[in-house]
Amino acid sequence: MVFFLGILALGVFLVATAARAALEQSSDFQVGLNVAAQAAQKLYFGTATNADQWTDKTYFDILKDDSEFGQITAANVMKWFDTEPEPSVFNFTDGDVIADFVKATGKRLRGHNCVWYNQLPDWLSNGTFTAPELAFIVERHCFTLVSHYRGQVYSWDVINEPFNDDGTYRVDIFFNTLNTSYIPLALKAARRADPHTKLYINDYNIEGIGAKATALKELVRSLKASGVPIDGVGIQSHLTVGGVPATLQQNMAEFTALGIEVAITELDIRFTALPPTAAGLAQQKADYATVVAACNAVPGCVGVTVWDFTDKYSWVPSTFPGQGAACPWDENYVKKPAYAGITEGFLG
């Protein structure tokens, strides 16, 4: 047994060493983002995706490539509006397309998400519910969704974006009716549904130390103190070029010191004015490297996911008109300097 473990450890060491050597010899850092992540002992480098983009062959070829992506997040189709369009009528057709792709390619799946104020079905956002009714609805949704994908999901964003930027709770249908009780309800239902998936709370503007990150740390502490299952925090990281918080690494370490893991779950680094200059692209490369290096330096950071990998399909321009070019590949699938920034962040 010890002999076999020794051989296994040697094998892992040799693969990591070979990947690092290949990377060091490669002047243009073409070894692949997931190869770099795994050589750095992380679980994965991943991307969000929408299946309607897969008819674009160039897109799909890159998405499939295990050397680039070892993890997939459904950008939309596992959300409430798609998975429970009518009360208690569940639809997993679209989500299954993503899950089946993940299974067929041997990648990891992150589940996104169970409870979020946005992209809710009309029956829920326009409905009026008593607290017991809504508690039942939340539990039913989380339990059924997580059960459907039991055994297939590395980690679930059970709660998405519960805070305002000042650290107060977001006033949405869930908070309005249930105060903060919907959070333990959802987490416990998810745990019952799949005992092995990692249960996360996922949010943005918690990258640096500040009121919002502090509020989330306090929530994690109190959930743990009362025995509510919580395994991780997703640090979305929708950032701007030149705007990576200086306290990112310290902040991640503070989260993991609470006894949970962290992941960068939705990374993109956008230009607030377009088109990018050469200096801007160099800054974006440095920013990608900084974020990835912070994850790399914190042992409890398990992986990094970009919120799609090409500017062609980025969500940014539709939400921030005039901004964009946020991804490591441009809209013509040319790798930007940011791509090399990611591999540098993993492997120095």
Contact in structure between 264 and 305 (CB atoms under 8 Å): yes
122 binds ligand G3I per the rule CB under 6 A:
no
Q: Dump the DSSP string for 244-276.
A: --TTHHHHHHHHHTTT-EEEEEEEEEEBSSSSP
Contact in structure between 199 and 235 (CB atoms under 8 Å): no
Contact in structure between 286 and 338 (CB atoms under 8 Å): no
- The phi, psi pair for 239, rounded to 5°, reads -115, 170
- DSSP letter at 107 equals -
- Shortest distance (Å) from residue 219 CB to ligand G3I: 18
Which one of the listed residues 139, 266, 331, 344 is annotated catalytic?
266
> What does the per-residue mask of binding to ligand G3I show for 236-255, with x meaning CB under 6 A?
x-------------------
309 binds ligand G3I per the rule CB under 6 A:
no
Q: How does 57-94 read in b/e, with b if 16+ C-beta sit within 10 Å?
A: eebeebbeeeebbbbbbbbbbbbbbbbbeeeeeeebeb
Q: What is the 3-state secondary structure (H, E, C) of 180-202?
A: HHHHHHHHHHHHHHCCCCEEEEE
71 binds ligand G3I per the rule CB under 6 A:
no
- Shortest distance (Å) from residue 85 CB to ligand G3I: 12
Q: Which helix (H) or strand (E) holds 47?
A: strand 44-49
CB closer to ligand G3I out of 67 and 323: 323
Q: For the CA atoms of 329, 332, 333, 338, what is the dihedral angle to 10 degrees? A: -20
Per the omega criterion (within 30 degrees of 0), is the bond before 328 cis?
no
- Shortest distance (Å) from residue 307 CB to ligand G3I: 6
119 binds ligand G3I per the rule CB under 6 A:
yes
Select the residue interacting with ligand G3I from 139, 194, 266, 344 (CB under 6 A).
266
CB closer to ligand G3I out of 149 and 346: 149
118 binds ligand G3I per the rule CB under 6 A:
yes
Query: How many Å from the N-terminal Cα to the C-terminal Cα in the chain?
Result: 35
- Shortest distance (Å) from residue 206 CB to ligand G3I: 12
76 binds ligand G3I per the rule CB under 6 A:
yes
- Shortest distance (Å) from residue 116 CB to ligand G3I: 7
125 to 116, 118, 176, 255, 326: CA distances (angstroms): 11, 9, 12, 32, 31
77 binds ligand G3I per the rule CB under 6 A:
no
> What does the per-residue mask of binding to ligand G3I show for 203-242, with x meaning CB under 6 A?
---------------------------------x------
Select the residue interacting with ligand G3I from 40, 43, 75, 124 (CB under 6 A).
75
Angle, to 10 degrees, between the axis of helix 182-193 and the axis of helix 131-148?
30
Q: Who contacts 34 (Cβ-Cβ below 8 Å, separation ≥6)?
A: 44, 45, 46, 66, 67, 68, 69, 70, 71
Select the residue interacting with ligand G3I from 149, 315, 329, 339 (CB under 6 A).
315
Closest residue to ligand G3I, judged by C-beta, is 315
Query: Which of 49, 71, 70 minimizes the C-alpha distance to 60?
Result: 49
CB closer to ligand G3I out of 178 and 326: 326
Number of residues that bind ligand G3I (CB under 6 A): 8
CB closer to ligand G3I out of 40 and 267: 267
290 binds ligand G3I per the rule CB under 6 A:
no
- Shortest distance (Å) from residue 238 CB to ligand G3I: 6
Reply yes or no on whether 68 is catalytic.
no
200 binds ligand G3I per the rule CB under 6 A:
no
Contacting residues toward ligand G3I, per CB under 6 A: 75-76, 118-119, 236, 266, 315, 319
Q: What residues act catalytically?
A: 266
